[in-house]
Amino acid sequence: MRRTYADLHLCAGLDGSERVSHLIDKASKFGYGLVGVPFPTKCTDVQFESLRKACEEAEIELASRIDLRPRTPEELINNLRRFRRRFDVVAVLCESKSVARQAARDRRVDLLNFPQVDFRRRFFDMAEAELASNSLAAFEVDVKPLLVLEGAGRIRLLSSLRREVATAKEFHVPIVISSGVADELLMRKPSELVALASLFNLDEVSAKEAVSKNPMGIVERNREKLDSGFVAPGIRVVRRGKDC
């Protein structure tokens, strides 16, 4: 069966500019079947429709995404209560250990993203992975830092990613590889993301799943939950009525 490749973190923006259309169009030409675009919490219907139309014209599917950057676990819980059912994908940008731990244990979180390059501010360890393995959260790797960093900074980041990816695999936490880019020049084809994954010791089969099966599974699972007929995993309302 033909793979559908997805970039769940294409930071295209919502300004309706020609730049946004170019990013979406390029993603389609690169072979992606779906892009996840981060939306602000106060996104308007006009902004959403503009982006949806751009994706429709480029013949690529759009998944709405929100990047939560809470300062405390309590703030994260409140944000999840407010926004979970409004977006296809919910990612948490983990900038403290307490937030990372709460995000890993909460089944409403789809992606654990660690934006800090400094290894002392990256909290995906064995305890984090064990919590994530019992929920539905995946470990997201943005490739943008690998493309823009140089020298010792890139070396230290690769060292962290090798350790984190090995930990994710040990605890069977799904891995998602995304671009995290907003610049057309930094965009990469799915095959190039797979090749980059070898730098942090992810084998080819796992890398391909990280840009296809794993991100697509997240979107499909959440869209099923948002459907009005959803009751529980594997249980759906087929027909409503007094004679049912």
Residues 73-110: tens digit of each pLDDT: 999 999 999 999 999 999 999 999 999 999 999 999 99
* pLDDT at 117 > cutoff 90: no
What is the predicted pLDDT for the residue at 227? 66
Sequence-ordered list of residues with C-beta below 8 angstroms from that of 39, at least 6 positions apart, any chain: 14, 47, 48, 64, 65, 66, 87
* pLDDT at 241 > cutoff 90: no
What is the predicted pLDDT for the residue at 43? 83
Q: How many helices (H) and strands (E) does the chain have?
A: 10, 9
User: What's the rounded mean pLDDT across residues 46-69?
Assistant: 94
Phi-psi group of 119: left, alpha or beta (phi > 0 → left; psi -120 to 50 → alpha; rest → beta): alpha
Nearest partner of 13 among 24, 5, 4, judged by Cα: 24
In Å, how far are 113, 143, 175 from 207, measured between CA atoms? 17, 13, 8
Within 13 Å of residue 157, how many CA atoms lie on the same side as its CB?
A: 20
What is the predicted pLDDT for the residue at 173? 98
What is the predicted pLDDT for the residue at 16? 65
Q: What share of the chain is helix, strand, coil (3-state, %, to 5)?
A: 50, 15, 35
Q: How confident is the model at residue 61 (pLDDT cuts 50, 70, 90)?
A: very high
Q: How far apart are CA 243 and CA 145, in angstroms?
A: 58
Q: Which residues pair with 58 in a beta bridge?
A: none
Q: What is the pLDDT of residues 130-187, one digit of tens each?
A: 999 999 999 999 999 999 999 999 999 999 999 999 999 999 999 999 999 999 999 9
Q: Return the CATH number of 5-236, one of 3.40.50.720, 3.20.20.140, 3.40.50.2300, 3.40.640.10.
A: 3.20.20.140
Per-chain mean pLDDT for the chain: 91
What is the predicted pLDDT for the residue at 232? 40
Is 25 in a helix, a strand, or coil?
helix
* pLDDT at 42 > cutoff 90: no
E strand or H helix that includes residue 63: strand 61-68
Q: How far apart are CA 30 and CA 174, in angstroms?
A: 24
Phi-psi group of 13: left, alpha or beta (phi > 0 → left; psi -120 to 50 → alpha; rest → beta): left
Q: How confident is the model at residue 239 (pLDDT cuts 50, 70, 90)?
A: low
Phi-psi group of 44: left, alpha or beta (phi > 0 → left; psi -120 to 50 → alpha; rest → beta): beta
Q: How far apart are CA 54 and CA 59, in angstroms?
A: 9
High-pLDDT (> 90) share of the chain, %: 80
137 compared with 243, residue with greater pLDDT: 137
What is the predicted pLDDT for the residue at 231? 38
Q: What is the pLDDT of residues 185-206, one digit of tens each?
A: 999 999 999 999 999 999 999 9
Is 174 in a helix, a strand, or coil?
coil
Q: How far apart are CA 17 and CA 26, in angstroms?
A: 15
